[in-house]
Amino acid sequence: MTTIHPTAVVDARAELADDVVVGAYAVIEGTVRIGAGSEVMANACVMGDTTLGEGNRIFPGAVIGAVPQDLKYEGEPVRLEVGDHNIFREHVTVHPGTGKAGGLTRIGNRNLLMVGCHVAHDCVVGDGVILSNHVLLAGHVYVQDGAIMNGASACHHFTTIGRLAYVGGLTRITVDVPPFSIVEGHPARVRAANVIGMRRSGMDEDDVQAVKRTLHRILISQRVSSSEAIEEAERNSDGNRYIGELLEALRASQAGRQGRALERPRG
Condensed to tens digits (0 to 9), the pLDDT of residues 93-109 reads 999 999 989 999 999 99
Cβ atoms of residues 194 and 211 within 8 Å: no
Arithmetic mean of pLDDT, 223-245: 90
Average pLDDT value for the chain: 96
Cβ atoms of residues 86 and 113 within 8 Å: yes
Buried b (16+ CB within 10 A) or exposed e, 64-94: bbbebebeebeeeebbbbbbbbbbbbbbbbb
Domain ranges of the chain: 3-70+77-140, 198-255
Question: Is 121 in the active site?
Answer: yes
Question: Is 11 in the active site?
Answer: no
Question: Is 85 in the active site?
Answer: no
Give me the catalytic one of 85, 91, 121, 134. 121
Give me the catalytic one of 35, 48, 84, 122. 122
Note the helical H segments in the chain.
Answer: 195-200, 205-215, 226-236, 241-255
3-state secondary structure of 227: helix
Beta-bridged to residue 79, according to DSSP, are: 49, 104
Give 26-37 pLDDT, tens digit per residue.
Answer: 999 999 999 999
- Would the pTM of this model clear 0.85, i.e. be above it? yes
Amino acid 264: pLDDT: 82
Among 67, 92, 85, 91, which Cα is nearest to 77's? 67
Give 100-133 pLDDT, tens digit per residue.
Answer: 899 999 999 999 999 999 999 999 999 999 999 9
Give me the catalytic one of 35, 116, 139, 162. 139
CATH of 3-70+77-140, one of 3.40.50.300, 3.40.50.170, 2.160.10.10, 3.30.420.40: 2.160.10.10
The pLDDT confidence band at residue 227, using thresholds 50, 70 and 90, is: confident
Arithmetic mean of pLDDT, 186-210: 97
User: pLDDT at residue 267 above 60?
Assistant: no
The pLDDT confidence band at residue 222, using thresholds 50, 70 and 90, is: confident
